[in-house]
Amino acid sequence: MAEQLVADLREKCDTPVSLLRDVAAAMADEMCAGLEKEGGSRVKMLLSYVDKLPTGREDGLFYGLDLGGTNFRVLKVQLGGNDKHVISRESREVAIPPHLMSGSSSELFAFIASELAKFVTDEEKGTSLSNGKKLELGFTFSFPVRQRSVASGTLVKWTKAFSIEDAVGKDVVAELQTAMQKQGLDMHVAALINDAVGTLAGARYYDEDVVAGVIFGTGTNAAYVEKANAIPKWEGELPNSGEMVINMEWGNFYWRHLPVTEYDEALDNESLNPGEQIYEKLTSGMYLGEIVRRVLLKLSLQSAIFGEIDHTKLKTHFHLRTPHISAMHHDETPDLKIVAEKLEETLGIAGTSLETRKMVVEICDIVARRAARLAAAGLAGILKKLGRDGSVDKRRSVIAIDGGLFEHYAKFSKCLETTLNELLGEESLKFIIVKHADDGSGIGAALIAASQSQYRNVE
């Protein structure tokens, strides 16, 4: 019975190369549809209004603010132009008190501005403040916003642990700017971006061949550089650079032949956003542990594999997290000791046999492999849309990836890279490069502030 259940799971999660090529083609098609007209695709293809990415020539002092979860980060970057790049960087992480995550907009932004003001004061001690120039800040805000310009955007909805009703529909830059003024902080918000755009900018600063920035963490998203004349829904004058960074919001991608199982369907039906973010639910760190938990629960209820156990923990949604399945998946001890420990500590399942533990590792492998292979197909879709998948254009193309899933789940990132090679062919290894971009979203905000600076051409 147990073996059959795992065999069925393996079959339903199967991702042969032919299927992945179709996923990549579907992603490229959805990208085109989303660029064609507003609402033309489930993949939103939002204009970021960032038309100038950092070149490595920027110089001066810039600040970044990165708000995307229960902590936010402030950082200061001193740039030295062509030869020196980043001369120095200082940062501070601040935990947001839980009551502020569901309070009022003004309270949240007042707290952020006061911490930012403290950081600036501490950092600027003994230095003269930027010779009469206003300090400039890049703001990474990783929640859905509708942008009207590079430095304004209204909040569409909160995600993660936030639920501040009165902030929805407001311009988050104006809210931050007002809060900073109340703190007596003379600082100009030069750009509003999200973490995928920040990752793209942070990597582009060091390498002009970076074409996309991608997040595989709790959630997933991608941003890439598009030709401005390839965006039919763009209204108004085309930017001088001829380029525009597109924030794809690709977590909402869906294609009817995606390898979805009963466990995914149940997870989706019981989620806060049924029918949405299907690609994210198959590929991101928030969900992989939960999918495995659902498989283990069915296994336990339909076979005697775990013996007589208390199902309380196994029945608790999101009790098994992706770091737990990563630890089990990477267990190389001969008797799978780490798997035994995690099952007991996390799910209250003790006294498992080696055979059972091997089966648990296999389930982790099936779920993580499917995620990594679908993730690779998404990357192939972007490259295909840009004509850089090796079929015609053989220019060097770099994809910068950030996020805890990619950084810490080694079997996921390895499988993603080998799958991309499978899809594009061995030849592509010479000119298509995937690299980990550490802390892209934080430094990216400061770097975009530099490339958008109001003082950029004034010497």
Sheet holding 135-141, edge to edge: 86-95, 71-80, 59-67, 135-141, 187-193
CB 142 within 8 Å of CB 68: yes
DSSP designation for 305: T
- The yes-or-no answer on residue 142 being catalytic is yes
CA 190/CA 184 separation, integer angstroms: 18
In the set 66, 195, 268, 331, the catalytic residue is 195
Residue 209 among the catalytic residues: no
- Per annotation, catalytic residue among 42, 73, 370, 388: 73
What H or E segment, with its residue span, contains residue 60? strand 59-67
Catalytic residue, from 41, 142, 284, 441: name it. 142
User: In angstroms, rounded to a whole number, what is the distance separating the alpha carbons of residues 300 and 278?
Assistant: 26
State the amino acid at position 80 in one-letter form: G
What is the rounded CA–CA span in Å between residue 447 and residue 363?
42
Return all residues near 184 (Cβ < 8 A) that are at least 6 apart: 117
88 classed as catalytic: no
Q: What SS3 state is found at 151?
A: coil
How far apart CA 82 and CA 14 sit, in angstroms, is 48
Q: Please name the residue that has the structure tokens 């010479």.
A: 430
**Residue 271 CB coordination number (10 Å):** 16
Q: Is 379 helix (H, G, I), strand (E, B) or coil?
A: helix
Provide the annotated active-site residues. 73, 142, 195
